[in-house]
Amino acid sequence: DIQLTQSPSLLSASVGDRVTITCRASQDTSTYLAWYQQKPGQAPKRLIYGASTLQSGVPSRFSGSGSGTEFTLTISSLQPEDFATYYCQQLNSYPRTFGGGTKVEI
């Protein structure tokens, strides 16, 4: 199985901050990686797929980059509604696996 390690697991930030979350894969996943946002009591919501393609309707302050084994999710200017937990997911092979999550808190 491909293991995904996210860092940090907890990120304290303020509105307006630039935030970067890293996802490292135990094997090459090319660009077959997605990012999800989850708020308490809600299902995860896809933000980015193909490592860098923004889901329709997602604000442009979100961006993704990377390939191979290292990926990043960046929020250019953190907004109040962005405080949530973020997960990466690899799509290179089965079983599909997720990172452990990064909680972004105030």
Partner 1 sequence: QVQLQESGPGLVKPSETLSLTCTVSGGSISSHFWSWVRQTPGKGLEWIGYIYSNGNTDHNPSLKNRVTISMDTSRNQFSLRLTSVTAADTAVYYCVRHYAGDRGSFDYWGQGTLVIVSS
Instruction: Single out the residue of 14, 40, 42, 57 in contact with partner 1 (rule: CB under 8 A).
Output: 42
d(CA 17, CA 53): 22
Closest to 97 (Cα-Cα) out of 11, 13, 8, 34: 34
Instruction: Single out the residue of 55, 63, 67, 76 in contact with partner 1 (rule: CB under 8 A).
Output: 55
Instruction: Single out the residue of 14, 40, 95, 106 in contact with partner 1 (rule: CB under 8 A).
Output: 95
d(CA 69, CA 24): 5
Our finding on whether 62 is near partner 1 (CB under 8 A) is: no
- DSSP conformational letter for 5: E
Binding site for partner 1 (CB under 8 A): 32, 34, 36, 42-46, 49-50, 53, 55, 87, 89, 91-92, 94-101
